[in-house]
Amino acid sequence: MIAMGKRHLAVCVLLLFAASARAADAPFVVTLPTVVDTMLKMGGVTAGDYVIDLGSGDGRIVIAAARQHGARGYGVELDPNLVNTARREAQRQGVADRVTFEAENLFNIDISKASVITMYIGESVNLRLRPALLKLKPGTRIVSHDFDLGNWPPDEKVTIPVPGKPYGPPRSDIMLWVVPADASGRWRWSMGEGTAPLEAQLEQTFQMLAGAVHAAGRGVPVQDARVRGEQVSFSVMLERGGRALRHEFKGRLSGDTIEGEVRAEGLQAPWRARRSARGKWHTDLAPAKFETPR
């Protein structure tokens, strides 16, 4: 009777433990070194960066960022045994002063200090993370191995052969997103003394801009319009000397000002635009649905 009771108690304790332990959102599968190198290169990792690997496994991405690029880093990993392995490996490779590893759920940590986020974790986790990723400081780089961010298209993507890859076909997709600033809204600028001011009305979906520049009462759609971190760029056909010329605008957004330059055939001039009203920035999960304003 007593023996039965003890067994029953043991089962209850085990069940309680299982319920309180957080199940991993992805299994432990390593990223092979060629992929790690490509991820860090695409992320433009330098000694000034703070790299956070979400689901850091044996710590290899954070350790490589510190060892090869001099970066500081932090790895968060549910499995405490893997965290211990990562700490030991950081010691062995002489980077323990620049990297830390923590046994924690990646959804519970503060990622706001990261200048680079790396992940090899899975599509549904990526989608759950997306709202937090979009709130990161503009210019923060996000590099993901194999899994995308749904309908937020990457700024860059490469596919490389990976012989001996432990999971899936022997190749890897590596994708980079640069967190965009919000450049939506009504912008105004002048192309020089004596010329009528120009006004652009822009809507943004993730890092893509759409809209029109209004000149002399006519709306001309912007082309190749995007935001990469704080860099805004678009081109638009504008009249000059009786001809429609492609004008390329590029500048850095800070608050409600963009400062940069405009180039057109035979012209290169400073460009300074001011925002008078914010517009729409679509960052929801549903496929982008917006119309190009006229």
Ligand X SMILES: C[S@@+](CC[C@H](N)C(=O)[O-])C[C@H]1O[C@@H](n2cnc3c(N)ncnc32)[C@H](O)[C@@H]1O
Q: How many CA atoms lie within 13 A of 158 on its CB side?
A: 14
Only segment of 51-59, 209-217, 244-252, 256-264 that touches ligand X (CB under 6 A): 51-59
Asked whether 179 and 191 are in contact (CB, 8 A), the reply is no
Q: Which residue carries 């504008």 as its tokens?
A: 238
In the complex, what is the shortest distance from the CB of residue 92 to ligand X, in angstroms, rounded to a whole number? 17
Number of chain positions touching ligand X (CB under 6 A): 23
Tell which residue, 231, 268, 264, has the closest CA to residue 250: 231
Q: Rule CB under 6 A: choose which of 49, 51, 52, 60 binds ligand X.
A: 60
Asked whether 59 and 87 are in contact (CB, 8 A), the reply is yes
What are the CA-CA distances from residue 95 to residues 2, 25, 35, 99 (Å)? 53, 28, 20, 6
Only segment of 52-60, 157-165, 177-185, 283-291 that touches ligand X (CB under 6 A): 52-60
Coil/strand/helix, residue 269: strand
- Nearest-CB residue for ligand X: 55
* 82 touching ligand X, by CB under 6 A: yes
Q: How far apart are CA 142 and CA 125, in angstroms?
A: 14
Query: Which one, 86 or 258, has the nearer CB to ligand X?
Result: 86
* 147 touching ligand X, by CB under 6 A: no
Q: Where are the beta strands (DSSP E) in the chain?
A: 50-54, 72-77, 99-103, 116-119, 141-145, 156-161, 171-178, 185-189, 198-205, 208-215, 218-221, 223-228, 231-240, 243-254, 257-264, 267-277, 281-282
Per-position x/- string for 84-123, each x denoting binding to ligand X as judged by CB under 6 A, each - no binding: ---------------------xxx------------xx--
Query: Which one, 143 or 258, has the nearer CB to ligand X?
Result: 143
In the complex, what is the shortest distance from the CB of residue 152 to ligand X, in angstroms, rounded to a whole number? 20
Q: Which residue carries 């960022």 as its tokens?
A: 65
Query: Which one, 107 or 189, has the nearer CB to ligand X?
Result: 107
Q: Rule CB under 6 A: choose which of 41, 67, 68, 79 binds ligand X.
A: 79
* 146 touching ligand X, by CB under 6 A: no
Binding site for ligand X (CB under 6 A): 24-26, 28-31, 53, 55-57, 60-61, 76-79, 82, 105-107, 120-121
